[in-house]
Amino acid sequence: MSYLKKLIHKIHRRSLWQVLVIYLGASWLVLQVVDTLAGALSLPDWAPPMALFALIVGFPIVLATALRCPELLPHPHHAPPSPLGAQ
pLDDT score for 1: 65
CB 23 within 8 A of CB 61: no
For residues 63 and 14, give the distance between their C-alpha atoms in angstroms, rounded to a whole number. 10
Residue 84 CA: distances (Å) to CA of 39, 74, 77, 81: 65, 21, 19, 9
For residues 26 and 4, give the distance between their C-alpha atoms in angstroms, rounded to a whole number. 29
pTM of the entire structure?
0.66
CB 59 within 8 A of CB 23: yes
If you average pLDDT over every residue of the chain, what do you get? 82
Element (H, E) at 49: helix 47-68
Phi and psi at 14, nearest 5°, equal: -90, 0
Share of the chain above pLDDT 90, in %: 43
pLDDT score for 82: 60
